[in-house]
Chains A and B, each alone.
Chain A
């Protein structure tokens, strides 16, 4: 057993690129679900329009990367409006149905043969973020970091940009949620009619929340696409949304830092279980599963962990026990 690699891989995943991607998705979901009570089951759809917004702008329409980023963010706004206009006047369930369907429709459109001229079909698009890669101030080939946190130059650059984005989004949520604007949002989560009876335009606030969380999701999708330099339709399946929910619930919903710490811990756990299981199999301690099966078993273990968390700590790791206890009354 190579404990050194277990710990190193785990800690690298703790602050890694996946943690950034899912932290952004979950910060968006936290605004939707944690603060406004909107059941968005299509967060991956926002990531997809962000990613494809930038990829198609650059590859298909030969626009500058920066314009592509703006288009990606606008695509997030447009998707939020499209989903919100018909459903936000209805009960919460309708938004859930519309969002999960929309995210699947988007994925199927992006991979369709008819549109492949623009979207690259099931192969997706590549090499559209050279501008992003060229901005990298770090020397190619060199390694950066300290202790276990050592990364290649491109990864260091991506992590720097990524965690800066996460920091800015966290600051945004922090400022908003301690303001009267955030108070209205939380009131809507608790009881729409009460907010309405006190003169708050519930529909408009829900729309603002849907747009804001959606755009942060699009930002996450764009970040992931830019640092991998590729978009592929099948990377935008519904599992991504549910991972983001797992991250949010693990960290604690309606907490400013909940989604960020949730993402870090989620990927840390996935990495640890993967390396440990992989080593146990390859060293012959476990004989009844193959190493490729071990990759699936880790999700079972993390799922089991989440179930136990919900039983013994329903508020998530950083949630507020007193607040959750109110639901039982």
Chain B
């Protein structure tokens, strides 16, 4: 961890900075995946429901009031 890679930069510091890079990379990857793959599916299901394809005519709030 304390080994110098170049100049005064140690392996430990590079590993720490690598965690910043992986965090940014995972964020970017997840968002592009969600925008491309997940959102269209969710939109489709939601519009199906809105069109009345699967409703049982009662929302959670109404049921909650009855409980």
A and B assemble together: no
